[in-house]
Amino acid sequence: MSGKRRLVKWSVAVALILCVVLGVALAADYFNVSSWQTLDVEKLTALAQTGAMLDADGQFVTTLVGRENRTAIRLDTLPDHVKNAFLAAEDLRFYKHPGFDLTRIVGALASNLRTGGYGQGASTISQQLIKLSHLSSQKTVARKLEEIYLAVQLEHRFTKDEILEMYLNYIYFGQGAYGVQAAAQVTFGVNAADLTPAQAAALAAAIKAPSAYSIQSNPENNRQRRGYILSTMHENGMLTDEAYAQAMQEELSPVQTAAVQTEYGWFVDAVLDEAELQLDVSAETLLAGGYTIITTLNQEMQSLLEEQYTKDVFPANATDGTRVQSAAACVDTATGAVRAIVGGREYLTRRGLNRATQLRRQPGSALKPLAVYAPAIEYAGYTCASVILDEPTSFGSYQPRNAGNAYYGNVTIRTALKNSLNIPACKLMEAVGVGNCRRYLQSVGIALDDRDANLSLALGSMTYGTSPTALAAAYAPFANGGIYYEPYFIETILDRDGAVIYQHQDSGARVLSTQSAYLMTNLLRTVITSGTGTRLASLSVPVAGKTGTVNMTGSGNRDVWMAAYTAELSCVVWMGFDEPDASHRLASSVSGGTNPATLMKNFLSAWYTGRSKPDFKQPGGIVTVELDKKAIEWRGAPMLATSLTPSSYRIREIFIDGTQPTVTSDVWSAPSAARSFYVSHSDSGQPLLVIEPSATAVYRIQRDAVGESRVLTELRGSAGEKLYYTDASALPGVTYTYRVIPIHAELLDNGIVLEGPQSVQVARVQAQGGGLGDWLRNLFGGNTSQGPETPASIFSEGTTRQQALPQN
């Protein structure tokens, strides 16, 4: 039995060993262990690799700097509180683990399992150094295992102090500073060896994400994380009570550096942001990786745009001296390539806030063409002449108002957009459907929050807003025939060996028909020629656009925008305070059509001086017809002008062929003659005129006699009734001719007299002196037995007139 037991034990042991071996083999295959790297010491020691950035024509723009702003220092030159600040921030158990921290891994794994993602990391300093130098930032189990594998190799090859020294010399702190020495100089103007505990904690806080946690970019985020680091140091005996209290109370102020003399700094920063995203590399790897980046930059355009920011075109500063900020972007309409941007009034901080790309502000009425009018035309068949009633309207609990609380009755889409009327925009979005309007906005790159699903979106009200670059790209389909291209800054990236590792490709997405796009451009040209954007009307190049103004509660404005485009270039300018409040608001007189429009005009004028001036090309399938302006106002629908429509009331409008109106205007049809008209007498024996109207009209009674012609009165009547008028001023013994002239009632109410074509009825009556009996006998030829409405002599003139004259 004992032999059998030993055999069973050996069999089980062998089986377990085989299972382990098989498991390891399967795991190695699953995680592709054979492709894992081995530790490359050169990647840790040969840090700086100079790269280059080129413009769209292949001309040099700037160097991608690595080595120049990194000053390597030895760890033993740093005081303990500097080293400990980074340990407290990133890896408190650094000197205790073998390169990976099992305790932190288990904690992070539990957290990620709870959240269902990879949000919680557990990387040690060794792992971070490996990731920065050897791996991408991709978050997969295989990459994490490879990271741990290389970290263990690193720990076997170097001492802990050597690893910490390489880490502190490698990491990026923002503001163009690599390594703790450069960071200390750029941020506080001191050497790393002279940093106070609070300053060291501030630098350690930044490496989590420099654009979000550096003291220059976000002081509040830095303060909070700095406090956490100092507390951790205190709790772990790295700071005494006194040193901790002093550090917590220390007021930190980064050094005020002069404007960084970086050519095209705003554009360069945007390129670096895009390169990091496309290559999935860190800022450290990008700047020190020896890459050549061919961009979309037009250097001449960029210089001209930046030049506008040196001129006095901005609204007044706040009372405390805070300047109004601004940003601008120019996008190639044919490709989506960004040609020039400005991210603020002055370029002070490398990789700081770039308002041209990172701003998210409500665009106000500059969103109306995208949120309302384009989807209405493309999805719902509206035309430029579709009519909307502009009057005070409540949409449930939402009660928008027009600017100045002014309303204009029946207006066309062209008029509503030209004058930026709010009620028609909301009515149109309601008719088209909020969902359809959201769909169009998202199709042209305007990011929306789930809460942006109500009619206030028609007026540009958004939870977060948009950026100048995104808005400029969203307008581009109007200019290029209906194709949306996502805005981009990079054409090609080459690695250090000259191999292409990234090539921009985008065939675009059709969002409008070519005809709908042309209608939108034609509408938006009216905004420039006679609407809210008239400051651009004097430009020598054909331009279309829209203004946007966002009000603040109480008074004043928060944001003002000018979006304008030519056939080849779409541009947007924004102005406003970074942190608007009661003390930082634009004056009510500042709108998208004032300061932003002035800057836009100056820029486009400068750019097109000496250049060809492209025009918008009308596609096939567009027709032009003449409409009757009065029919739009009175009938609430577009109607064709007729031969009777005066020239001053004819308007030309374009339509997609097949959508033009076919009904002719009935506004200018002259009323027909009275059905009957005769002269009787009143009880007092005076001439009594009896008129039976043939239609609704104003009947003008004119009396003629020798040496006299005068209008006695105007009577308003309709078919089916009779009108009576007694001529109390008639004199005995005088022969009178009475004329009844029908006049268009509606036009007369609007100051326009329209007679004829018409037949004028004439009656002659002779009034003679004497008693009433004689007067009546003369009046009726001696027949006094006739009733009160027996006619005297009546005969007609077949007079035909056709005229429409303004009433004096």
Q: Distance (Å, rounded) from C-alpha 388 to C-alpha 368?
A: 15
Residue whose C-alpha is closest to residue 263's, from 569, 7, 55, 473: 55
Annotated catalytic, 365?
yes
Written as one string, the DSSP assignment of 70-121 is: B----GGGS-HHHHHHHHHHH-TTTTTSSSS-HHHHHHHHHHHHHHTSS-S-
CB atoms within 10 A of CB 628: 26
CB atoms within 10 A of CB 303: 13
Place of tokens 């940093």: 195
Q: Which of 126, 217, 365, 461 is catalytic?
A: 365
Cβ pair 216, 177 in contact under 8 A: no
Q: Distance (Å, rounded) from C-alpha 775 to C-alpha 781?
A: 10
Tokens representing 586? 């634009």
Residue 662 vs residues 445, 627, 630, 654: alpha-carbon distances, Å: 38, 10, 16, 14
8-state DSSP, 332: E
Q: Distance (Å, rounded) from C-alpha 409 to C-alpha 423?
A: 11
Written as one string, the DSSP assignment of 169-188 is: HH-EEETTEEHHHHHHHHHH
3 state SS of 491: strand
Residue 748 vs residues 74, 670, 719, 752: alpha-carbon distances, Å: 95, 12, 18, 5
Half-sphere exposure of 674 (CA within 13 A, CB side): 28
The answer to whether the Cα torsion of 90, 96, 100, 105 is positive or negative is negative
Residue whose C-alpha is closest to residue 478's, from 331, 604, 574, 369: 369
Place of tokens 């130098």: 133
∠ CA 84-85-91, rounded to 5°? 75
The answer to whether the Cα torsion of 573, 578, 580, 586 is positive or negative is negative
Secondary element (H or E) of residue 634: helix 629-635
Place of tokens 């004032």: 594
Beta carbons within 8 Å of 60's beta carbon, 6+ residues apart: 52, 53, 54
| Three-class HEC string of 648-701 | HHEEEEEEECCCCCCCECCCCCCCCCCCEEEEEECCCCCEEEEEECCCCEEEEE
| Three-class HEC string of 542-604 | CCEEEEEEEECCCCCEEEEEEEEECCCEEEEEEEECCCCECCECECCCCCCCCHHHHHHHHHH
Q: Distance (Å, rounded) from C-alpha 36 to C-alpha 15?
A: 29
Q: Distance (Å, rounded) from C-alpha 411 to C-alpha 426?
A: 14
Half-sphere exposure of 154 (CA within 13 A, CB side): 34
Cβ pair 557, 549 in contact under 8 A: yes
Q: Distance (Å, rounded) from C-alpha 1 to C-alpha 695?
A: 126
Residues forming a β-bridge with 697: 717
Tokens representing 503? 């090539």
| Residues with active-site annotation | 90, 365
